[in-house]
Structure 1
């Protein structure tokens, strides 16, 4: 590589660094966020950026000056000294001072970010392939099963993904929140210190909401802790930041921050839904098929494909023994509820309602030409899950 090209690359890199620190409006810069922690992180980031800019100006300035002032044509007789102890001490002490000056506020901020004590609300966050589960925990630190739900990618994004070939077929996707919208967002109150207990059910995920400066790995068998206190009501979006499988890009995070009164009303509604119990009403075949198609496309199609023909390690559901074989209903139900050990088939017994499981199984046994005529009701699934079925 020529000297000119090397210098051009140096100048281009330095210009990019300079531009990234010129203000929060540039898309290359870190966002300021909506919490006290996120603003402190942003301020520290800007301080470090400008320290780097000053160091770059001094370093490259000295380099260009030396190249110009001490070039061979101007100084044909080189100096004879080998080193300067004074200069070596100076260029050792100054970086040490800079590092200490930056380390002190950085360490203080890290300690503050890890201090989840005195939280007013605790939410268990669990990652699955490929969805999130949120459980609200009561003041006695017991798992509060009264309010818990799964958060999945919304159907509109799924449809756009299928129709556009995951965005690579040339079809233009104009939806602003494509792959960033969910069916059930996490809801928290404004001006409340919320502690998140982050874990995972299957593989490593990562819970990341940039506007909060919250990013914590979700590791199976471990519970990691992080917190936030949001100053402004609104909707804030994040993603799983750990490569967790084929649909890694299909498990966004949406957090709705509500005023306290609105949050209380939302929470009371969720508690009432839980206390009402599952919907075990009997359904007709047409109702089960309609509900089953919607639930299948939401929970199953990403692996088994919308046409049921499977994909790679995910088996076909069309005409297979488990789905259409005589007397196979019990095994089919068991696979959906309990999963299959050693495979990618998860246990959906705790992820889906009795009505959803019944509808999915009925749909799979009567869609794509399977036509078994068999159906299962929510009450049957409920009895099996609670030990009352065969």
Structure 2
């Protein structure tokens, strides 16, 4: 029985340690994933590197502190006849050491974190701009300067499963509550600026693979940017409690090559273009003109 419990504990610890030791994670979060993923953008890589630096420093501090505590408790236990030191006095050297060392560690973490944070908010030299507006409970995307815009909401299949009351499985829907009717299509290798706001209440636009999330606040325009390096489909959700259907406004970003993106954009423009009236050939009266002449002749007769 004890051996079985030991094996279970060992397996659990191994599973918990794997994400920490892994050098790369999938773009989208996975069930039971404990560590941050690398993502598919420059910003997500920056966030991952800052996270791992802080994590390893914390692990080193923890091993040092708890190792010293464990050694002290074992080597100087009462059963071995250890006596408490009643003559210990204040040590200026120790005070200096345990003040200077944490300050140095904070400085070591602050420099890369600050540079990465500045980079995160530098939206200059963007090649295109997408306006994101949060609604209860959907997103609206406008490609500024392209006259293309559409809404994106929970896909119909997820909605039907949700309303049915059954317990969904991956067999019913592989991306239940994480799929939409209209994906946000973006080109790879392109610096994209986002302007983010909301129409009613506070929302938050969050796709983990992109490495950031940004609040969508009514009356305020926030900025962010991304440059997606790898084609693929990346999913996210609203990250701000925005009402009763907060959990049903997913985000799906489809990253394609610049050529595919341009072809898709042209299709959207053609679909949104109003139908043009047919111009009659010179010398041939139009249908409307012929009908009017016939009506005038009938009245004259």
Tell me whether the two structures share a fold, i.e. TM-score over 0.5: yes
Shift of 1:19: 5.2
Is the CA contact 1:154–1:181 (under 8 Å) kept in the aligned structure 2?
A: yes
Point out where structure 2 has 5 or more consecutive residues left out of the alignment: 1-12, 26-31, 277-301
- Equivalent residue number for residue 273 of structure 2: 275
In structure 1, C-alpha distance between the alignment counterparts of 2:263 and 2:232, rounded to whole Å = 16
Is the CA contact 1:17–1:53 (under 8 Å) kept in the aligned structure 2?
A: no
Q: Do the aligned partners of residues 16 and 46 (structure 1) sit closer, same or farther apart at CA in structure 2, a change above 3 Å counting?
A: farther
Shift of 1:77: 3.0
Shift of 1:42: 1.1
Shift of 1:16: 9.0
SS at match of 1:41: helix
Correspondence list, 1:230-309, <5 A: 230-276=228-274
In structure 1, C-alpha distance between the alignment counterparts of 2:170 and 2:15, rounded to whole Å = 29
Find the partner of 1:124 among 131, 144, 160. 131
Shift of 1:257: 0.9
Is the CA contact 2:197–2:218 (under 8 Å) kept in the aligned structure 1?
A: yes
Find the partner of 1:95 among 102, 109, 113. 102
- Equivalent residue number for residue 205 of structure 2: 207
The yes-or-no answer on 1:28 pairing with 2:27 is no
The normalised TM-score by structure 2 is 0.80
The normalised TM-score by structure 1 is 0.62
In structure 1, C-alpha distance between the alignment counterparts of 2:140 and 2:212, rounded to whole Å = 17
Q: Do the aligned partners of residues 92 and 197 (structure 1) sit closer, same or farther apart at CA in structure 2, a change above 3 Å counting?
A: same
Shift of 1:172: 4.0
Shift of 1:129: 0.3
The yes-or-no answer on 1:162 pairing with 2:168 is no
Correspondence list, 1:292-371, <5 A: none
Q: Do the aligned partners of residues 217 and 277 (structure 1) sit closer, same or farther apart at CA in structure 2, a change above 3 Å counting?
A: farther
SS at match of 2:77: coil
In structure 2, C-alpha distance between the alignment counterparts of 1:239 and 1:161, rounded to whole Å = 16
Higher relative contact order (CA 8 A, sep 6+): 2
- Equivalent residue number for residue 375 of structure 1: none
Shift of 1:83: 2.6
In structure 1, C-alpha distance between the alignment counterparts of 2:240 and 2:143, rounded to whole Å = 24
Shift of 1:105: 0.4
- Equivalent residue number for residue 51 of structure 1: 57
Larger radius of gyration: 2
Correspondence list, 1:213-228, <5 A: 213-228=211-226
SS at match of 1:127: strand
Shift of 1:204: 0.3
Farther off after superposition, 124-133 or 59-68: 59-68
Q: Do the aligned partners of residues 239 and 189 (structure 1) sit closer, same or farther apart at CA in structure 2, a change above 3 Å counting?
A: same
SS at match of 2:108: helix
In structure 1, C-alpha distance between the alignment counterparts of 2:184 and 2:230, rounded to whole Å = 15
Q: Do the aligned partners of residues 105 and 277 (structure 1) sit closer, same or farther apart at CA in structure 2, a change above 3 Å counting?
A: farther
Shift of 1:75: 4.4
In structure 1, C-alpha distance between the alignment counterparts of 2:186 and 2:15, rounded to whole Å = 38
Farther off after superposition, 81-90 or 66-75: 66-75
Is the CA contact 1:194–1:228 (under 8 Å) kept in the aligned structure 2?
A: yes
Q: Which has the higher strand share?
A: 2
Over aligned residue pairs, what C-alpha RMSD do you find? Answer: 2.0
The CA deviation string for residues 114-145 of structure 1, in whole angstroms up to 9 with x for no partner, is: 1011000100000000000001112xxxxx5x
- Equivalent residue number for residue 177 of structure 2: 179
In structure 1, C-alpha distance between the alignment counterparts of 2:101 and 2:158, rounded to whole Å = 53
Q: Do the aligned partners of residues 29 and 50 (structure 1) sit closer, same or farther apart at CA in structure 2, a change above 3 Å counting?
A: same
- Equivalent residue number for residue 189 of structure 2: 191
